């Protein structure tokens, strides 16, 4: 009997423990439960492994990911990058930029009961606490405080639902068609989603704000709650540990799994790497490092405008005398190309010599011709795929001959 009662108590204790653990695991964001430990040398080992890795052998665990070049907005690498997925606390990238653009960061606010009772990862706020919006932003982005997210939403819009309206309006303004927000923290919801591609575009926009960039690039920071200091450490495991990393945000929920948005700059090349849906923290770290190292090892910037200018001038020298302007008062045509859709783009180092050009122009033209009339197009191709293009324009006007033109022409012939 004693054995049975004891056994029953043990089973009851285990059941309660599992229930409580499961509850926190489902809703805990950025808390590293049951996660693989990342060894001290994993950064160096993965970096060295990717030195000569090919795109086909990246072997990524993440469900969707992208590497976006910030200068050209070109997709360097993508895997299911336009699929709608949950994004956990990477949501807070939008939360932060909304607050920064609409709030007074020096303002001190009082924490509501709703904000203080928000679950998941927390800054540790209590009802009635006094804290500035600026300090809340650090609590939002460094330790991923869901309580800070709700407090910020309430301070800017009055409620979480009204703040979500601001978030969705901003998404629409940025042209994010496959993104929708319901909360400022990103806990799982069927109508709260984005894509790796659109999250990268949002991050690119946010990083243009110096306040945002400063916050997400901070490894450690001390805030004040009710006048008492509290030390924060950034949850981004790559910040300060991998060359060139300068932000931006981690994320985790059961629905989204492990997520990481990273910004990295080396030399002139500046990229955003997004991995969503990794099974463990170790996998999200590995995938991020693989993609970053693969990009910098294999890609280089090419000044396409310089190459186009050289090609166009050579083509013009060979073809300028071939233009015929039917019934034009002049046969002297001045042509040039318009602004390129892109001027500097990332290209695989092994494919730089595969760039080619195609000019499509009708050399037999009807007058009159007006300044900036389009008379053709110029395309830049990589492996026969168009990577950028521009129009070829007439830079001068050429009138059509009239009776007086013919008369002058007749007189000049006989005089």
pLDDT of residue 13: 57
Indicate whether 46 and 189 sit together in one domain. yes
At 253-266, the pLDDT tens digits run 999 999 999 999 99
Evaluate the omega torsion of the peptide bond into residue 368 and state whether it is cis, within 30 degrees of 0: yes
What is the domain extent for residue 331?
Answer: 323-403
Residue 227 has pLDDT above 80, yes or no: yes
Q: Is 89 a catalytic residue?
A: yes
The answer on 281 and 340 residing in a single domain is no
CB atoms within 10 A of CB 103: 18
Residue 17 lies in a domain: no
Residues 140 and 278 in one domain: yes
**Are 205 and 338 part of one and the same domain?**
no
Q: How many domains does the chain have?
A: 2
Residues 51 and 85 both lie in one domain: yes
Lowest mean pLDDT among 17-21, 22-26, 81-85, 197-201: 22-26
Which CA distances in Å does 166 have to 35, 182, 198? 35, 10, 17
- Does 26 have pLDDT greater than 60? no
Does 50 or 224 have the greater pLDDT score?
224
Burial letters 139-169, b for 16+ CB under 10 A, else e? bbbbbbbbbbbbbbbbbbbeebeebbebbbe
Catalytic-labelled residue, pool 144, 249, 281, 288: 144
283 pLDDT more than 80? yes
- For residues 274 and 337, membership in a common domain is answered with no
Residue 394 in any domain: the answer is: yes
Cβ pair 357, 379 in contact under 8 A? yes
Q: What b/e string do you get for 9-34 counting C-beta neighbours within 10 Å, with b at 16 or more?
A: eeeeeeeeeeeeeeeeeebbbbebee
In a domain, 281, yes or no: yes
Q: Is residue 335 part of a domain?
A: yes
299, 333, 363 - which closes a domain: 299
- Clarify whether residues 255 and 341 are in a common domain: no
Q: Indicate if 144 belongs to the active site.
A: yes
Is position 311 within any domain?
A: no
Residue 342 — very low, low, confident or very high, per pLDDT cuts 50/70/90?
A: confident
In this prediction, residue 51 carries a pLDDT of 60
One of 63, 79, 86, 92 is an active-site residue; which one? 92
| Residue 47 predicted with pLDDT over 70 | no
The DSSP 8-state label assigned to residue 351 in this structure reads G
pLDDT band (50, 70, 90) for residue 46: low
> Is there a single domain that holds both residue 245 and residue 334?
no
Residues 252 and 397 in one domain: no
Is 314 within the bounds of a domain? no
Kindly state whether residues 294 and 157 are assigned to the same domain: yes
Q: pLDDT, tens digit, for every residue of 230-248? A: 999 999 999 999 999 999 9
Q: Please check whether residue 244 lies inside any domain of the structure.
A: yes
CATH number of the domain encompassing residue 367: 2.60.410.10
Residue 225 falls within a domain, yes or no? yes
Mean pLDDT for the chain overall:
88
Question: CATH number, domain at 226?
Answer: 3.40.710.10
- 292 lies in the same domain as 329: no
Same domain? For 277 and 147 the reply is: yes
């Amino acid at each position: 009997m004693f054995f049975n009662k004891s056994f029953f108590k043990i089973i009851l204790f285990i059941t309660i423990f599992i229930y409580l653990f499961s509850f926190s695991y489902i809703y805990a964001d950025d808390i590293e439960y049951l996660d693989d430990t990342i060894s001290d040398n994993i950064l160096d080992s993965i970096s060295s492994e990717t030195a000569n890795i090919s795109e086909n052998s990246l072997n990524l665990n993440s469900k969707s990911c992208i590497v976006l070049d910030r200068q050209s907005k070109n997709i360097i690498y993508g895997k299911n990058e336009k699929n709608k997925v949950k994004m956990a606390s990477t949501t807070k990238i939008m939360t932060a930029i909304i607050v920064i653009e609409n709030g007074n960061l020096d303002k001190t606010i009082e924490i509501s009961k709703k904000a203080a009772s928000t679950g998941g990862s927390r800054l540790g706020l209590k009802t009635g606490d006094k804290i500035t919006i600026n300090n809340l932003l650090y609590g939002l982005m460094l330790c991923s405080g869901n309580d800070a997210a709700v407090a910020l939403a309430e301070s800017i819009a009055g409620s979480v639902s009204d703040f979500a309206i601001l978030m969705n309006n901003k998404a629409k303004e940025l042209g994010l068609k496959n993104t929708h927000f319901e909360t400022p923290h990103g806990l799982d919801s069927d109508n709260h989603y984005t894509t790796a591609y659109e999250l990268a575009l949002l991050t690119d926009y946010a990083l243009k704000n110096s306040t945002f960039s400063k916050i997400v690039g901070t490894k450690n920071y001390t805030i004040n709650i009710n006048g008492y200091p509290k030390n924060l450490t950034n949850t981004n495991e790559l910040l300060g540990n991998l060359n060139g990393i300068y932000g931006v945000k981690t994320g985790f929920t059961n629905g989204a799994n492990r997520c990481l948005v990273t910004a990295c700059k080396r030399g002139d090349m500046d990229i955003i790497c997004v991995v969503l849906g990794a099974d463990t923290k170790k996998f999200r770290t590995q995938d991020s490092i693989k993609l970053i190292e693969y990009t910098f090892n294999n890609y280089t910037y090419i000044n396409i405008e310089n190459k186009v200018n050289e090609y166009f001038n050579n083509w013009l020298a060979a073809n300028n005398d071939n233009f015929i302007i039917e019934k034009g008062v002049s046969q002297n045509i001045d042509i040039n190309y318009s602004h390129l859709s892109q001027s500097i783009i990332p290209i695989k180092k092994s494919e730089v010599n595969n760039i080619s050009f195609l000019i499509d122009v009708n050399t037999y033209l009807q007058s009159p011709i007006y300044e900036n009339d389009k008379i053709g197009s110029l395309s830049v191709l990589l492996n026969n795929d168009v990577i950028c293009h521009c129009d070829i324009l007439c830079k001068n006007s050429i009138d059509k001959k009239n009776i007086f033109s013919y008369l002058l022409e007749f007189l000049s012939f006989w005089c």
